[in-house]
Structure 1
């Protein structure tokens, strides 16, 4: 069997490493940019949905959120209808960094997909979405405390 997941992992780690180096000038470290981008794209998102979107556990998300808040990139606001719910919003500082992160993402996409035809890009996108959906089933299962049978 081809080691597809190893290839995906190497790509993800390489891009993450590049981003961590390039975003250091903004004091964004260890993948914090992932959270900031999602909050900028979905202002008012709640922490649980953010964790689900990025596919990390709640504790990891809580730590990243706390750091981003302390650094002034995001703020928590009370929900109007339920005081227990805290919604996440980018601050002016967070909004000002967002375009740079988007440009980096667009550039990385261009580099990663260079040499592929439009049809190949569409096929790759479709297939990767299919793989992600397959993995999400196990992720949800294990996240709930279950153990996979392999």
Structure 2
């Protein structure tokens, strides 16, 4: 049983790393890394999101968010400004360049999912999604 759990954790990590490499290869022409793809979707979904909120939603530390946002800003994908209501907060907004990249990023996520689940039945995909959702919820509770 312990070896099965070890394989589970190894496989989850492997899938995550392969997904990042897949996105790297397909988004490189846009100037977006595979790791930054989640930032693109989240910032476009929630324009004006604070850096702290972004860290919470993406489950990464604030210093990682700061580094990634600096790169996205340097490449013209976002603008950052102080919140009017709380000057301590930096709010993040997508630029037109990021908005134009969003459909490509979404397609990249969809093609990865489709490639990964190719050959699985709808029932298997549904079961997998249900179980992974339970694991994700449990993982969030352990932070």
Deviation (angstroms), 1:30 = 5.5
Deviations 1:83-141 (A, max 9, x none): 22222111001111111011111111111112222222222111111111222233x2x
**What's 2:114 paired with?**
110
Give 1:9 shift.
1.1
Which residue, 59, 68, 71 being the options, matches 2:72?
A: 68
- In the alignment, structure 1 residue 43 sits paired with structure 2 residue 47: yes
- 2:38 alignment partner in structure 1: 34
TM-score, normalised relative to structure 2: 0.88
Select the structure with the greater relative contact order (CA < 8 A; seq sep ≥ 6). Answer: 2
Structure 2 unaligned regions, length at least 5:
none
Answer yes or no: is the 8 Å Cα contact 2:42–2:54 preserved in 1.
Answer: yes
* Cα pair 2:77 2:96 within 8 Å, conserved: yes
What are the superposed Cα offsets for residues 17-63 of structure 1, whole Å, 9 maximum, x if unpaired? 11112211112236122212211122121111211221111111110
- The correspondence for 2:128, drawn from 113, 124, 130, is 124
TM-score, reference length from structure 1: 0.85
Is 2:22–2:34's contact at 8 Å kept on the other side of the alignment?
A: no
Q: Name the Cα RMSD after superposition.
A: 1.5
SS in 1 for 2:91: strand
Confirm or deny that 1:83 pairs with 2:101. Answer: no
Q: Mind listing any 5+ residue stretches in structure 1 that lack a counterpart? A: 141-150
Q: Work out the CA distance in 2 between the residues paired with 1:64 and 1:5.
A: 26
Partner of 1:12: 16
Figure out how many residues of one structure are paired with residues of the other and give that number: 139
Conserved 8 A contact 1:36-1:74: no
How far, CA to CA, are the matches of 1:24 and 1:87 in structure 2?
26
* Displacement over 3 Å in runs of 4+: none
